Amino acid sequence: MVLPMLLGITGAIIQALAVRMVVDPLSLVALGILGTFGVHTWLRTGSATWVLRVAWTWAVVTIGWVLANRIASVPTGAFRPGELVVSADLIVGGALAWIRWGDAVRTAWRRYHEEVGNPDKLGNAWGDRVNQRVLITVASALRLMFLFRVPVFVIGDSGVYIKTAMTFTSWGSFAPLDGFYPPAYPVFVAVIQMVLGPDFLGVAAVQHALGIVTVLATYGMARMALPPPWAMVPALAMAVNGYILILEHGIYTEALFIPLVTVGAWLTLRLVRGGGLGTSIATGVVIAVASLTRLVLQPFLGAVMLLAIASGGWPVRRVAVFRAIAVGASFVVVVTPWAIHNQVVHGYLGLSNGIGVSALLPRLWEEEATYTWENQSHPDPDVRAVLRGMQEQRDRGASYWQAWMRARRDFPDRNTSTLVAAAATDVIWRHAGLFTERTWFRMQRMWRGGFGAEQVNDLFGEQVKLGIRSPIFLVRDDGDSAEAIEQAGAEATGLSRIFRPDDVPPGLTLVLTVVATVASLAVRRLRPALVPIGLGLGLLFLAVLLNSDRA
């Protein structure tokens, strides 16, 4: 066994000293080790199987091709000689491993299915533990490779959350939110910085850890409807999703919102499958925190409560009603302090005062269609004045924020968000057909991936604007730093391109969604899949209906 290895190493040394290298030395060493393993396996099996014959035939052809290329300059096409040798190594190694350990693998595979035959066994079966460890390993390895390559990403809204985290840490103030933005994410950032220090790399590390929680929650949801091998498909897609990876590495509310939504959907499934009081309370708390992270989730509280009631069957059971009440009560308990804060500080009772400026107004203002704002027949004189002012700002080519600030100046004693929301609602009502047509167009564009996709290299500029500095990543203006940043960005981009949702053809995505929905309605065992499908489609629809293309 030692002789073939020595031959491989000797050949590598000779080639390394030669003027013209036939192939790189490491490939020869690998081939020598594989040759040793091959001879050993061949002697143990007595005769070569067809798998081994095919593998060695490919290896001989490949090595001959490489030798012909190096000696007689025979072209290798798009492949480099080293790539051909490595392919031979991998194919022969795979064939030998199959012969050597194939029986053991088949035995383990049978045990895997025998141990996990019932999808109701969540997290207890041996096969589930194996799957969870694989998911944790894959997700952790990818995130660790990504974590130390590039600075933490920031965008325009990141500045508000960074400033709020600072004011909250210093004197408990939420002033930068200005009543528009919810508080959960700034508090999340502030707590991490109080524990791990001011470097935003600590925030990214915690968010990447939450990404692993998202992967496990995805697997848990899939296991309620699918056997273990199929449940791994969506979980692995989540583990290597490039968009999720970028969001986890930035000061984005989505980095906290996505884990909360995923865990909330998993808890909802546990609830409708007969969960107790603890599950009900946990579901309400998670939905509340998610709503305080991104307000778009608030409407789904009612849907979850209805599901909790319906899960008890007909006639309605008292225990199902109690579960729904527990969900709603826990939600109210969590959000009430923030609602009271808004009443005391900003004069309104609710989670946000920004429906006008952050939702309806930006879409109507920047949409491809042209809306007529002025309406002299509106019964409210203040709304009439706002509509007239909006029309003037629109004709002048002002931004929606300038139009908002004018309404704020013109009516200092009125709630600006309420006035602008009333004006926007009037515009939508008068242009219902056009608004519906543009909504359908935006839905189609979203489904085709028409909205701008964030790339790693596009996210560096905002870091300098916000003055973010890190002891690991110091952003400077000199050429060497710019080159290093570009290289790190290219590496991170490569990691984020392992799987991107926009790489999947839109038609295939639509077909798979329709098939999954129909199958979930038709097959009782697949019924739990309706919860994540409905939640995902609902969030997409609300994002397109209101404003945020990226939400």
How confident is the model over 24-40, as pLDDT tens digits?
Answer: 555 555 556 556 556 65
pLDDT of residue 485: 59
How far is the C-alpha of 192 from the C-alpha of 202, rounded, in Å?
A: 7
Residue 238 near residue 244, CB atoms below 8 Å: yes
pLDDT of residue 437: 84
pLDDT of residue 329: 95
pLDDT of residue 49: 67
Q: What is the pTM of this model?
A: 0.72
pLDDT of residue 337: 92
Does the structure show a pLDDT above 50 at 475?
A: no
Average pLDDT, the chain: 78
How far is the C-alpha of 218 from the C-alpha of 547, rounded, in Å?
A: 27
Contacting residues for 161 by C-beta, under 8 A, at least 6 apart: 181, 185, 186, 189, 251, 253
Task: Give the range among 145-149, 477-481, 526-530 with minimum mean pLDDT.
Answer: 477-481
Mean pLDDT in residue range 409-432: 85
How far is the C-alpha of 210 from the C-alpha of 259, rounded, in Å?
A: 6
How far is the C-alpha of 421 from the C-alpha of 358, rounded, in Å?
A: 10
Does the structure show a pLDDT above 60 at 286?
A: yes
Categorize the per-residue pLDDT at 422 as very low, low, confident or very high, splitting at 50, 70 and 90: confident
Instruction: Specify the DSSP element, H or E, that contains 185.
Output: helix 184-196
Residue 59 near residue 14, CB atoms below 8 Å: no
164-204 pLDDT per residue, tens: 899 998 888 888 887 778 899 999 999 999 998 888 889 99
Select from 256, 362, 353, 270 the least CA-distant residue to 307.
270
Contacting residues for 56 by C-beta, under 8 A, at least 6 apart: 38, 48, 92
Categorize the per-residue pLDDT at 218 as very low, low, confident or very high, splitting at 50, 70 and 90: very high
pLDDT of residue 281: 94
Residue 426 near residue 383, CB atoms below 8 Å: yes
Select from 219, 262, 226 the least CA-distant residue to 532.
262
Does the structure show a pLDDT above 90 at 439?
A: no
Distance of CA 149 to the CA centre of its chain: 19
Per the structure block, which two tokens stand in for 478? 């000199």
Categorize the per-residue pLDDT at 316 as very low, low, confident or very high, splitting at 50, 70 and 90: confident
336-362 pLDDT per residue, tens: 999 998 888 877 777 777 666 666 777
Categorize the per-residue pLDDT at 9 as very low, low, confident or very high, splitting at 50, 70 and 90: low
38-73 pLDDT per residue, tens: 665 555 555 456 666 777 777 777 777 777 777 777
129-139 pLDDT per residue, tens: 888 999 999 99
Task: Give the range among 156-165, 301-310, 512-521 with minimum mean pLDDT.
Answer: 156-165
How far is the C-alpha of 1 from the C-alpha of 5, rounded, in Å?
A: 7
Per the structure block, which two tokens stand in for 501? 């949702």
pLDDT of residue 499: 78
Does the structure show a pLDDT above 90 at 15?
A: no
Distance of CA 185 to the CA centre of its chain: 17
- Residue predicted with more confidence, 83 or 383: 383
Instruction: Specify the DSSP element, H or E, that contains 482.
Output: helix 479-496
Q: Spell out the SS3 assignment of 422-470.
A: HHHHHHHHHCHHHHHHHHHHHHHHHHCCCCCCCCHHHHCHHHHHCCCCC
In the numeric block, the tokens 């952003």 are attached to: 475
Per the structure block, which two tokens stand in for 462? 């905002």
484-522 pLDDT per residue, tens: 656 666 667 777 777 777 677 777 778 888 888 888 888
Does the structure show a pLDDT above 70 at 467?
A: no
Select from 457, 386, 459, 451 the least CA-distant residue to 424.
386
Categorize the per-residue pLDDT at 266 as very low, low, confident or very high, splitting at 50, 70 and 90: very high
Mean pLDDT in residue range 265-278: 89
How far is the C-alpha of 279 from the C-alpha of 303, rounded, in Å?
A: 16
3-state secondary structure of 347: coil
How far is the C-alpha of 212 from the C-alpha of 202, rounded, in Å?
A: 16
Q: Where are the alpha helices (DSSP H) in 23-157?
A: 25-45, 50-72, 81-115, 126-147
Q: Spell out the SS3 assignment of 205-237.
A: HHHHHHHHHHHHHHHHHHHCCCCHHHHHHHHHH
Instruction: Specify the DSSP element, H or E, that contains 343.
Output: helix 318-346
Q: Strand locations in 313-421, DSSP E?
A: none
The amino acid at residue 301 is L
pLDDT of residue 123: 47
